[in-house]
Structure 1
Amino acid sequence: MVLYPLHELWRTGLAPLAYWADANARIYSAQDSWLSSLPGSQRTAAGFELMYRLGKDYEKPEFGIHQIEVEGHPIPVVERVELEKPFCRLLRFKRYHDQADGLARMKDDPVVLVVAPLSGHHATLLRDTVRTLLPDHKVYITDWTDARMVATDAGAFHLDDYVAYVQDFIRHIGTDNLHVISVCQPTVPVLAAISLMAGRDEPLPKSMTMMGGPIDARRSPTAVDNLATRQPLWWFENSVIHTVPANYPGVGRRVYPGFLQHMGFVAMNPERHGLSHWDFYQDLIKGDLSSAESHRKFYDEYNAVLDMPAEYYLDTIRTVFQEHLLPRGLWDVAGERVDPSKIRDCALLTIEGELDDISGLGQTHAAHALCTGIQASKRQQLTAAGAGHYGIFSGRRWRTQIYPQVREFIAAQAQAPVKPATPTKAPARSTQPSPRRRSQRG
């Protein structure tokens, strides 16, 4: 198929126009440029910048978390690679403190592994999640690699491999005081990974928090779910799978290209994106630099997409959205049956957004019906009022309404070991995490 090479040719041809538009936007807006004093210069600069942003290529953003504030003191943060695999890097955000007592408090903080989605965007989409967690936790995150940057000699990457990666990361970090947070797509492989570890009597994390994921996509199906079931699997393989062209390290690898995914994201809400760009243009003309910068930051992240390995993408379509193997109890990973009822020593918190248009209501909470081996007192679920999909892990609602409850849930599991429970037949009642007095942390 020639679509990928044609896209690269188009992008290459568009690059000079984007650079030209960027240069003109700067010339007509720079204070030391005589062109900025001409009548209509601000409107001209705004038009050129909009042209530039619509035509530019968006690279993977940086996390850019270099400092946080703890107890009123600035704390340096260093991002480092803890473990590297062909398709993913395990990153740690290492905190430093120049006071002995503060350092001692931070050493006792719970450890959190954030499993980022491999569903189009980079892990930096969870920047706000990480930054919010850092004052109270030691934080790791999975940083998935753009498949077009992985040479074919690294082999294929299936959904089973995703599960194995999560298990390897858990073992590498160690389960002592470890808490796993999965956001969106990885709720399914994370539940599988911990279920298989439980079946082998391996030590488990203290808790798992699952946010807005398709544990059972049959519940309240959304447009995303319907798209995945509307066509047979062969249609996806023939229509959206393409081969990486020669200008990338992964030449010859079969992928679901990021540019096709981005087109799908925009197609879900074209009017909203169109209005957003128009508002950006108007903000530039009015001189509302704060609103314009917010637009830039959002689309720098939103428009930066990665290629997914074809095998992994097709496995996910079939396993999660078409055959629903996990909630039906029929999913085998590398020859082992996934049985969440075997999980005992790991607490469970599920979080959904009331207005989530990606993972419908009840899809994530369905984990409770599967994890019957976890005692009811160690299972909680939260439906965030007024929150959409991104609002449950990023933004004001995440920081002020959801995170405090996640923090208290993790703190409660960190303070007391989870005891094995007698399996129950019914899922846990919907409860809200009870408020607790927070102990002093670094």
Structure 2
Amino acid sequence: MLYKAYEIQRSLMNASSAWASMVADALTDARNPWAGVGPSQTIANALDVFAHAAAPRGKPAFGIKVIHVDGTAHAVKETTVITRPFGDLKMFTHEGLPKNAPRLLIVAPMSGHYATLLRGTVERMLERCVVYITDWADAKYVPLAEGVFDLDDYIDYLTGFLEYIGEGAHMMAVCQPSVPAFAATAIMGAKNHPCRPVTLTMMGGPIDTRESPTAVNDHAITKPYVWFKHNVITTVPANYPGEGRRVYPGFVQLASFMSMNLGSHMMSHYKLFQHMNAGADESADATKAFYDEYRAVCDLPAEFYLQTVDVVFQRHALPKGELVHRGQAVDLGAITDTAILCIEGERDDISGIGQTKAALKVTPNLPDDMKQYLLAPEVGHYGIFNGSRWRSSIAPAVEQWIAKFEKKAKGRKLSVVA
């Protein structure tokens, strides 16, 4: 019922958006003798804001065509190197990179948005690294015949991606995937796997949500597991390839995030209207571009979502040493030679201060000189991996951390070959 009701509402909003856009175009058309007369431009701008807010959105493209490094422009090559039912592996590179450039796997969140939310992250790290990124699938497009996808599968996907990239790679997890990336690193460390990451950077991740709990964390623990199972999980309708699959819909996640800062979002759209009235096209286009990405959402497999609520937010299994993968306990003490960098934002209202840093406390066998913590002042959750602060101060710290252990990466590879 939930998904069908949404589909009806979406159809109505799509039609309304199309009509609003058409009327706005007519009001500003040069052939209209009333264009620009009286309140016509103001009405057109108001309709344009509504049309943009109500417009349908599909999966965005990364669209990184050119990158500038030290003042020189380089063409970017984007390739899908692994295709799997619940997520692909994409690779970005350019001709300005040296042959021995570090290889970095960026693990995008499976939390309702597409991997393109990390476009700015990819673009900045691509300056010095060959960048790989997980491109998770929209669950409503995955046929039931492909089976289920849970936290165990997520960890296995990361292991497989690291095996493809090869020995000596680095890994960066942004927000939610910090937990499975951390677990995968421990599992590979316990097996002395040659493709275990040389460095692991975790940014705004919920390693231990008992530290500085946020509204998101409180929501996850104030309701029992069964409440989530019966109230936010629904079935994909017949008009999608994933018909019959149980999912946590992206539109529910978007509604949750929007409601957390509803006043800010309303003010952003009001400012968009003001910018359009003032002819500030660049500011208006920037706001539209942000919401084009922010409102593009996808569905999560129900198994993964429910297991994450249970394991990460309610039982805190990983930091308590109780996480199990494929029947085997995940031992964080097995991480002995993967350098860990934890990054948090001072104003993060999704992952509170200390939640990511907790990873440094639960790795007792990792030397202190292989641990580092960075608290980004006056930075919110999205500012950790996007925007001016990310580009100017956070990304350089990540690059320095990777460079510090890159020689070790080459030494590890040689020792394995020998």
TM-score tier, shorter chain, comes to over 0.9
C-alpha separation in 1, matches of 2:163 and 2:31: 57
Alignment of 1:156-195 (within 5 A): 156-176=148-168, 178-195=169-186
Residue identity matched to 1:223: A
Alignment of 1:343-382 (within 5 A): 343-382=335-374
Alignment of 1:329-340 (within 5 A): 329-340=321-332
Partner of 2:60: 61
Contact 1:86 1:150 in 2 (8 A): yes
Using the TM superposition, give the Cα deviation of residue 37 of structure 1 relative to its aligned residue in structure 2, in angstroms.
3.4
Shift of the 5–347 alpha-carbon distance from structure 1 to 2, 3 Å rule, reads: same
Alignment of 1:101-116 (within 5 A): 106-116=98-108
Partner of 1:16: 15
C-alpha separation in 1, matches of 2:398 and 2:327: 34
Which sits farther off after the overlay, 130-139 or 198-207? 198-207
Using the TM superposition, give the Cα deviation of residue 16 of structure 1 relative to its aligned residue in structure 2, in angstroms.
1.9
TM-score between the two structures when normalised by the length of structure 2: 0.96
Residue identity matched to 1:24: V
TM-score between the two structures when normalised by the length of structure 1: 0.90
C-alpha separation in 1, matches of 2:410 and 2:130: 20
Alignment of 1:40-439 (within 5 A): 40-97=39-96, 106-176=98-168, 178-203=169-194, 204-417=196-409
C-alpha separation in 1, matches of 2:34 and 2:133: 46
Contact 1:330 1:338 in 2 (8 A): yes
C-alpha separation in 2, matches of 1:258 and 1:303: 9
SS in 2 for 1:141: strand
Using the TM superposition, give the Cα deviation of residue 31 of structure 1 relative to its aligned residue in structure 2, in angstroms.
4.5
Contact 2:107 2:173 in 1 (8 A): yes
Residue identity matched to 1:141: I
Using the TM superposition, give the Cα deviation of residue 372 of structure 1 relative to its aligned residue in structure 2, in angstroms.
1.8
Contact 2:235 2:244 in 1 (8 A): yes
Residue identity matched to 2:28: S
SS in 1 for 2:251: helix
Shift of the 419–74 alpha-carbon distance from structure 1 to 2, 3 Å rule, reads: closer
Residue identity matched to 2:186: S
SS in 1 for 2:35: helix
SS in 2 for 1:341: helix
Which sits farther off after the overlay, 32-41 or 65-74? 32-41
C-alpha separation in 1, matches of 2:23 and 2:331: 60
- Deviations along 1:104-139, one digit per CA (max 9) or x if unpaired, are x52121110000000111111100000001110100
Gaps of 5+ in 1: 98-104, 421-442
Residue identity matched to 2:174: V
SS in 1 for 2:208: coil
Contact 1:345 1:418 in 2 (8 A): no
- Deviations along 1:245-273, one digit per CA (max 9) or x if unpaired, are 01111010000111111110111011111
Contact 2:140 2:240 in 1 (8 A): yes
Shift of the 35–175 alpha-carbon distance from structure 1 to 2, 3 Å rule, reads: farther
SS in 2 for 1:106: coil
Which sits farther off after the overlay, 181-190 or 341-350? 341-350
The RMSD of aligned alpha carbons is 1.5
Contact 2:49 2:269 in 1 (8 A): yes
Contact 2:173 2:203 in 1 (8 A): yes
Residue identity matched to 1:129: T
Shift of the 47–270 alpha-carbon distance from structure 1 to 2, 3 Å rule, reads: same
Q: Report how many aligned residue pairs link the two structures.
A: 411
- Deviations along 1:179-203, one digit per CA (max 9) or x if unpaired, are 1000000000001111111111212
- Deviations along 1:147-204, one digit per CA (max 9) or x if unpaired, are 001011000111110011000000011122x110000000000011111111112122
Residue identity matched to 1:53: H
C-alpha separation in 2, matches of 1:301 and 1:45: 24
C-alpha separation in 1, matches of 2:49 and 2:409: 54
Which sits farther off after the overlay, 278-287 or 109-118? 278-287
Using the TM superposition, give the Cα deviation of residue 283 of structure 1 relative to its aligned residue in structure 2, in angstroms.
1.2
C-alpha separation in 2, matches of 1:138 and 1:250: 33
Contact 2:93 2:126 in 1 (8 A): no
Residue identity matched to 1:21: A
Partner of 1:434: none
